[in-house]
Amino acid sequence: MAEENVDVCIIGSGWGGAIPALRLSAAGKSVVVLERGRAWKDSDFRQTVDPRYVLSLFRIDTSADLKATMVTSQALLGGTSPLFSNVMLRAPSLVFDRGDDEGNRYWPRSLDRALFDPYYQRVENDLGVVPLRWTDEGYPGLNCQDGEAADHTWDLVPKRGYAFAKACQAAGYNEVSPVPVALDHRCVDCGWCTMGCIFGAKRTPDKVYIPAAQAQGARFLTEHEAKTIEPEFLSDHYKVHAVDMVNRQSKTFVAKVVVLAAGAMNTPVILQRSKFRFPRLWDRLSRQVGKKLSANGDAAFAVNLPVSEAMLASETFRGKIIGTTCWSFLEEFGFTLQDTYLLNSALALVVEPPDGPGWGLEYKHFMQALATTVNGIISMGLDGDDGEIRYNSLTDKGHMTWRMSTRSAQLYRTISAKVGEIVKAAGGQILKTPLAENRIACVHPLGSCRMGDDPDLGPLRADGQLYGYPNVYVTDGSALPGSLAVNPSLTIAANAERVSEGIRNNFPA
C-alpha cells in the first residue's frame, strides 16, 4: 500500500477544505486534499432537470421514516458550492449569543459576531461579494436603495424578489432587503445556478481558492475517498487511509495535521468509522460526534402571488435563484424568509390543482394561469437540532434519524402561519409545502460535529480542534453549532479562515 508523508491532509474541497488548503500551502506547508468528486468544466454543466443529470450532481439523504431529507453534493471539486444559489449572508449576532433549552450557550463563549466580522470581511473581499440592487423602474413604491442608473443589469434583484417584497409589504412586514451574492458580471440571469453555471459566473472555491492553492503547491486529488483516520501510536502524526476511486487503489497519507471538511453529512461518519476500526486509538472521541444535526430551520413553499399588474410579468422562470431576505421575524421568532426560484418541471411535480385531476387540458390551463405568478418562499430559522447521523458497519455508511423537537415544531408552525399571512395579503395562496405533511427538506445541514465549551456540548474546541486529538481539525458546516437562521456558506468560509489562522500559528514542529 502506497504511503506518503505530508504536512497537512485535508478531506473535502468545499469552503471548509479549500480555504485551509490555500492558507496552509501559502504558509509553505505541503498540502494534499482528498476529494470524492471530480473537476467539472463550465461546459460540463447542463441546463436541464433530466433526473439522470440531477442525480449525478446531488446526494440525497433521507431518514428511514422519510420525514427528513438532506440535499448536498459529493460530485464536484469545490464541494456543494458550485451548485449553490450564490447568497452570502453574515449570521446575525443573536445566533452567536443564543442558548439551548438547558441554558448552555450554543457557541463557545469566546466566539461572537464581532470576532467573526474580520473573517467575514476577508471572504467577502476575496470573492468580490456584492449586494443585488433594486431598480425602481416599473416598481413604484419600493424602497430603492440604489437610485443611480447603472450601466449594467446583471446584479439586479429578480422580479420574483419584487413580488415577494410587495407581498411582505402588503402584510405589514417591511424589512426586506436584496441579498449579497458571490457572482460576477458573467451572470445572464438564466436561473440555472443550482445545476452548475455554464457561464462561469460563480465565485466559488473551485474558481477562487482552489486555483490559488494549486499555485502555492497544494495538490487536489479528485475521485479519492478518505475512509478512516488512524492516530499513530508512537508519534503525534495521523494516517489518513483513502481509496483512489478510479483505480480502486488504497493510499495512506501520514500527516502532522488533518483537516476534516467532508461536509455535515460525512465528517461525523469518517470519525465514527475510524472509531469502529481503531476503537482503542479513538477512545477519547466525544460522544457528541454525529448528534444534534440541524436542518437550519429550512422549509420551502410553492406559492401563488398575484400581487399587482407589474408582478404578472414576474418572469417566474428567470433571474437569480434568490433575490431578497425578509428580516421582520428574526428578533421575535428566530427566522428569516427569502424568495426563491422554482424550477418549472419541479413545480409540475409538486403542485396539484385544488380540484380536478393533475393531468389533461384542465390541468394545463391551471398551470398556465400560474406561470406568471408562481413564486417560491424559503425559510431559515433557529431549529432544535433534531437529527443524528450514525455509522453502520454493515452498510459502511452513515444513516440519519430525525425526531422533530418541540422547539422545531413551534418554529415551523410560526413559519407556516407567517408565510400564509404574507401570501394571503397578496391575494394568493400556498400551493404546496412539505411541512403540511410534517416533512422537512433541507439544503443546509449543519452542526453534526460542532464546537462547544466542553466535550459534552460538542466534539470540537473553539479553535476547531477535536477534544482529545491535537492537530485534527474540522472546518466544514458540521463545525458550526446549529442553525444560523440564514444561508450558511459565508459563515462556513469565515470559520475556515479563522481556524486556518490558528493552525498556521500553532503548527506542530
Ligand X SMILES: Cc1cc2nc3c(=O)[nH]c(=O)nc-3n(C[C@H](O)[C@H](O)[C@H](O)COP(=O)(O)OP(=O)(O)OC[C@H]3O[C@@H](n4cnc5c(N)ncnc54)[C@H](O)[C@@H]3O)c2cc1C
Comparing CB distances to ligand X, the nearer of 317 and 363 is 317
Q: Map residue 71 onto helix, strand or coil.
A: strand
Burial 274-311 (b: 16+ CB within 10 A, else e): bbeebeebbeebbebbbbbbbbbbbbbbbbbbbbbeeb
- Shortest distance, position 482 Cβ to ligand X, whole Å: 14
Which grid coordinates are listed for 130? 456584492
On whether the CB atoms of residues 329 and 311 are closer than 8 A, the answer is no
**Orientation angle between helical segments 15-26 and 489-505, nearest 10 degrees:** 30
- Shortest distance, position 13 Cβ to ligand X, whole Å: 5
Comparing CB distances to ligand X, the nearer of 60 and 66 is 60
Distance, CA of 476 to CA of 492 (rounded, Å): 6
- Shortest distance, position 312 Cβ to ligand X, whole Å: 27
The alpha-helical segments, DSSP class H, found in 198-321 are 209-215, 267-277, 309-312
Which grid coordinates are listed for 228? 478512516
Reported residue count of the chain is 509
Comparing CB distances to ligand X, the nearer of 32 and 111 is 32
Comparing CB distances to ligand X, the nearer of 171 and 450 is 450
Comparing CB distances to ligand X, the nearer of 25 and 74 is 74
- Shortest distance, position 147 Cβ to ligand X, whole Å: 27
Q: Map residue 326 onto helix, strand or coil.
A: strand
- Shortest distance, position 91 Cβ to ligand X, whole Å: 10
Distance, CA of 138 to CA of 374 (rounded, Å): 19
Residue with cell 477534544: 467
- Shortest distance, position 125 Cβ to ligand X, whole Å: 17
Comparing CB distances to ligand X, the nearer of 14 and 319 is 14
Comparing CB distances to ligand X, the nearer of 56 and 429 is 56
Comparing CB distances to ligand X, the nearer of 328 and 487 is 487
On whether the CB atoms of residues 447 and 264 are closer than 8 A, the answer is yes
On whether the CB atoms of residues 258 and 21 are closer than 8 A, the answer is no
- Shortest distance, position 33 Cβ to ligand X, whole Å: 9
Burial 9-28 (b: 16+ CB within 10 A, else e): bbbbbbbbbbbbbbbbbbbe
- Shortest distance, position 19 Cβ to ligand X, whole Å: 9
Comparing CB distances to ligand X, the nearer of 263 and 455 is 263
Name the amino acid, one letter, at 372: T
Distance, CA of 46 to CA of 35 (rounded, Å): 22
- Shortest distance, position 128 Cβ to ligand X, whole Å: 16
Using DSSP bridges, classify how beta strands 176-178 and 324-326 pair: parallel, antiparallel or unpaired.
antiparallel
Comparing CB distances to ligand X, the nearer of 298 and 386 is 298
Residue with cell 434568490: 322
Distance, CA of 445 to CA of 480 (rounded, Å): 10
- Residue 125 makes CB contacts below 8 A (sequence gap 6+) with none
Comparing CB distances to ligand X, the nearer of 70 and 435 is 70
Q: Map residue 446 onto helix, strand or coil.
A: strand
Where along the sequence are the contacts to ligand X (CB under 6 A)? Answer: 11-16, 34-37, 71-72, 74, 79-81, 83-87, 194, 225-226, 261-263, 266, 270, 322, 443-444, 476-477, 487-489, 492
Backbone φ, ψ for residue 451 (5° rounding): -75, 145
Comparing CB distances to ligand X, the nearer of 86 and 294 is 86
| 3-class DSSP string for 121-136 | HHHHHHHCCEECECCC
- Shortest distance, position 83 Cβ to ligand X, whole Å: 5
Using DSSP bridges, classify how beta strands 224-231 and 374-381 pair: parallel, antiparallel or unpaired.
unpaired
- Shortest distance, position 234 Cβ to ligand X, whole Å: 26
Q: Report CA-CA distances (Å) from 232 to 87, 253, 256, 401.
A: 41, 12, 10, 33
- Shortest distance, position 85 Cβ to ligand X, whole Å: 3
